[in-house]
Amino acid sequence: MLGLFRVFHWGPITAICIIKWISLVTLYCNLRWYPPANSFGGLAFTVTFLVLSGLTLYHFLFAMYDGPGYLPLSWKPDGATDEELLQLQFCHICQGHKAPRSHHCRKCNRCVMKMDHHCPWINNCVGHFNHGHFTAFLGSAVLGCLLSCISLTCSLYYGLNRNWYEFYGTGNEPKVVFTVWSLIATLLGLGLSIGVVIAVGLLLFFQLRAIMRNQTGIEDWILEKAVYRHRHSDNKFVYPYNLGRLNNLRQVITWTCQPKGNGIVWEVIEGADQYSLTREQLLQKADKRDRSREYEVFKSYSGACFPITHGVSVCIRPPCTDEPRIQLIKGDRIIVTRWKKYWMYGDKVVQSKKARIRGWFPRHCTVETVFSQHYDSAQLDADHNSESSDTEEISTSAGETHQQYIHHRGKNTKTATSKNKRDNQLSTRTESRKKK
């Protein structure tokens, strides 16, 4: 039932309104500027625009309702051995393993096959099964709005200069007459068309580049981290899914917009296997857990996107992401995994069976604890068997860290004491030699 009501969202409603507004205004002006009944060129122009407008709406609806393809809940590969399962990530929300190239979407609350990004305009993720329709939607929208820009610009030119052409023209110029409301509608339609050509055109460029690389936006970020992680190693990470531009293009762009493959098993280059990328992801997450630090909140935060009360710098420099902000109360503890100049991202440490709480918050609201211990952030919401067991585990970790600190401090004290003894002996010998 969710699919039927997916259109009732600000994104799809806004997109459909823009599509229909541009289409109706363009047809209204085109009948006056380049009437299809007067010439074959006018007929061809009008028919081409109508086809592109129809394809835009068609691919938009299919990209929204077909969906990217979701992994079943509690999924795991058929006939997989324990060794193979260890090479896959596990989703604690869906309670199943993640197939290669799959990622969990917080908005859809499901694991998505070959997830590229969550698009608010279609109120759905762009992934394996709707990537072709989404790309076709972008292409037809850009081409249609290019024709709309031509039609509306020429209509405005002849409409605003109508009096001049009546006195000095040849009489063969188009007769375009605007009322106040039609002029406003045309100007708005032209502005929307130019905006679509620029914004959607850029998105189309990045999508085509990603398809020709066979690399989604998420995988682009994973590859960037892999290159950085292996920068000092002789064994460089090789992306396993780049089969060449033409073969990559054929996997997504087809006449029916139906992709090749089932979204679980993928063609890989020679020397790679199905789990090459997932192994790298697991290693990156292990490094992320090693870098994590525990912070304690000493100043409350409401969770607002632009917290004016926390300073101008924090307010005007928010993280450029759609990830959530989390509310903080004095005394809360956060396991931080990402740092920016004015913001940090992490998981709130909870002591009960609650959903995982993670997101961004102002950096100056917290202070790093003295005995911070690295945590497995993925298990903050997975191993909540009881509140007492969680408290005991955290206390044990803090105690072990304290013992390590005391041991390290003791070693430093012993070293300093022995050094002082040597200095005293040396000074005594020097004084005795001077007396002699």
Catalytically active residues, by annotation: 119
**Within 10 Å of residue 413's Cβ, how many Cβ atoms?**
10
**131/138 Cα distance (integer angstroms):** 11
* DSSP for 30-77, written as a single string: HHHHS-TTT-HHHHHHHHHHHHHHHHHHHHHHHHHHH-S-BPPTT---
Q: What tokens appear for 393 in the block?
A: 């585990």
**93/107 Cα distance (integer angstroms):** 13
**349/328 Cα distance (integer angstroms):** 11
CA angle 12, 15, 17 (to 5 degrees): 110
Contacts 24+ apart (CB under 8 A), 254-259: 254/132, 256/132, 257/59, 257/62, 257/132, 257/133, 257/136, 258/129, 258/132, 259/128, 259/129, 259/131, 259/132
- Residue (of 315, 264, 291, 268) closest to 70 by Cα position: 264
